[in-house]
Amino acid sequence: MKDIDEFLRENKPLVKDKPSFILETRQRLEAVEGIKAEVDRQRSHARIVLIVTLATGLAAGVLASALAFLFPVDAASLGEGLWKSFRLFLESWKHYLLLPVAAFAIILSLVLTSDRNKAL
């Protein structure tokens, strides 16, 4: 702001005789600085959302890969118990298993990008 004050003093622009010209100019510059600060805040919010979405996508991909590696295992070789029940459940519902994971990723990205979460 000092540079603009000096520029105006040196070049003496033709303005009406208003003693408040520099004060009005300074107020406008402060408003511009406020806009710049808001833009920077929104950019940082967008970066955070991007990182969270990336991490969610990576976690969903790792989970999907881990589940895909479980399917080649023969259910008869697992023995009895809870693990066999879980394995049989996965085997019967494997086509629909990634739908909740994808839905969670989509809902999380929508929640994080909504205007209500400007506190991030």
Q: How does pLDDT run across 46-94, given as a tens digit for each residue?
A: 888 888 888 888 888 888 777 777 766 565 565 677 777 777 777 777 7
Contact criterion met (CB below 8 Å) for 53 and 112: yes
d(CA 116, CA 111): 8
What pLDDT does 2 receive?
67
Q: How confident is the model at residue 115 (pLDDT cuts 50, 70, 90)?
A: low
Contact criterion met (CB below 8 Å) for 89 and 70: no
d(CA 52, CA 44): 12
> For residue 119, is pLDDT > 60?
no
Half-sphere exposure (Cβ direction) of 3: Cα atoms closer than 13 Å:
1
> For residue 120, is pLDDT > 50?
no
Outline where DSSP puts E strands in the chain: none
CA 65, 68, 74, 75 dihedral sign is: positive
> For residue 38, is pLDDT > 50?
yes
Q: Is pTM, for the whole model, over 0.75? A: no
